Amino acid sequence: MAHVPPARHLLRAKDLADARYAEPLEVDDLARAAGLSKAHFSREFRRAFGDSPHAYLLTRRLERAAALLRTTDHSVADVCLSVGLRSIGSFTTSFTRAFGVSPTAYRAEHPPAASQALVPGCVVRAYARPQHRTFREDKAPTPT
């Protein structure tokens, strides 16, 4: 087996953040995945990837939260929880710092999620067909 460069272990930690951001994952867990002490890990991770592991995990969560705000109609609180963050208050603060607008404003800036839903053609045909109207519809129904 060839010698494995230390960065390969750091990449394992980065991949863990990308794969399991939705879980209550912390820098300690990432350090464990890399097999390094927390302080040493944070320093090495930053040297390899340019961000501290804390910042990487947080921005991964914010990126995923932004995607959920664009593509779902889940509440801001649900979005926060489903990307592994537990405090709505600090989520709103970090989101606003990262994207320049609050989660609610960010969602309002994007087309509503419903417009992107790839609803099957049969559903569209069934539900979008307008009610039949005649030019005389405002008048009392004519006896048939």
In sequence order, the 6+-apart residues with CB closer than 8 A to the CB of 58 are 94
Q: What share of the chain is helix, strand, coil (3-state, %, to 5)?
A: 65, 0, 35
Query: Does 8 contact another protein by CB under 8 A?
Result: yes
Cβ closest to another protein, residue 72 vs residue 104: 72
Closest C-alpha among 26, 94, 87, 80 to residue 54 = 26
Residue 43: which H helix or E strand, with range? helix 38-49
Query: Does 4 contact another protein by CB under 8 A?
Result: yes
Query: What x/- string results for residues 24 through 63 when contact with another protein is judged by CB under 8 A?
Result: ------------------------xx--------------
Query: Does 88 contact another protein by CB under 8 A?
Result: no
**Candidates 14-22, 51-59, 75-83, 85-93 — which segment interacts with another protein by CB under 8 A?**
14-22
